[in-house]
């Protein structure tokens, strides 16, 4: 891992808060001209510190306000079954995050649904078609109190 200086870290914090900032705006905040800031940002991107830029959408306004964390146990612990599970999950649009975890479950999914009926359909028809799943446990979000995708630098 290359050494990041304070300016690189400051740029990452700024972009983590608002990836829509222009080079001119970033440059003013880090007291450099736009050209070296552009070069630094391009280097941070090419070295993988910045994976991509996204717009955070309001799921509730888009009629997908029900958030569920779905814990998954696989039928067996086998490399090919785990890989098959991940390939199947990648195709399901309701699943917005998927983590391989330790503990009582093997995977944790974050799912957006319109309502309980939509989630029920998702469980029966989409998760139900994933052959590698042994069991599931759903946890429904009552309120979202913090949602930050920033890394604490």
* Per-residue pLDDT tens digits for 68-79: 999 999 998 888
Model pLDDT, residue 2:
67
Model pLDDT, residue 152:
85
Model pLDDT, residue 148:
81
Three-class SS state of 51: coil
Angle value at C-alpha 112, between 108 and 116, nearest 5 degrees: 105
Closest CA to 108 of 121, 117, 95, 119: 95
CATH of domain 6-46: 1.10.10.10
Task: Give the C-alpha separation, 118 to 113, whole Å.
Answer: 6
Exposure string for 18-50, b = 16+ CB within 10 A, e = fewer? eeebebeebbeeeebeeeebeebbeebeeeebb
Closest CA to 111 of 143, 61, 66: 66
Q: Phi, psi at residue 47, to the nearest 5°?
A: -90, 5
Q: Write out residues in the chain with pLDDT < 50, as ranges.
A: none
Closest CA to 32 of 11, 53, 46: 11
Angle value at C-alpha 49, between 44 and 53, nearest 5 degrees: 90
CATH of 66-140, one of 3.30.70.920, 2.40.40.20, 1.10.3720.10, 2.40.270.10: 3.30.70.920
How is the chain split into domains, by residue range? Answer: 6-46, 66-140
């Amino acid at each position: 891992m290359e050494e990041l200086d304070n300016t690189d870290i400051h740029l990452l914090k700024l972009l983590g808060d608002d990836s829509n900032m222009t080079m001119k705006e970033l440059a003013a905040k880090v007291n450099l001209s736009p050209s070296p800031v552009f070069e630094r940002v391009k280097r941070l991107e090419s070295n993988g510190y910045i994976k991509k830029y996204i717009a955070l959408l309001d799921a509730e306004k888009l009629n997908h306000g029900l958030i569920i964390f779905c814990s998954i146990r696989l039928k067996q612990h086998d490399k090919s079954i785990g890989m098959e599970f991940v390939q199947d999950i990648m195709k399901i649009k309701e699943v917005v995050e998927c983590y391989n975890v330790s503990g009582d479950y093997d995977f944790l999914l974050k799912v957006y649904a319109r309502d309980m009926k939509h989630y029920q359909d998702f469980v029966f028809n989409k998760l139900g078609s994933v052959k590698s799943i042994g069991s599931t446990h759903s946890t429904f979000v009552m309120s979202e109190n913090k949602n930050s995708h920033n890394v604490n630098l």
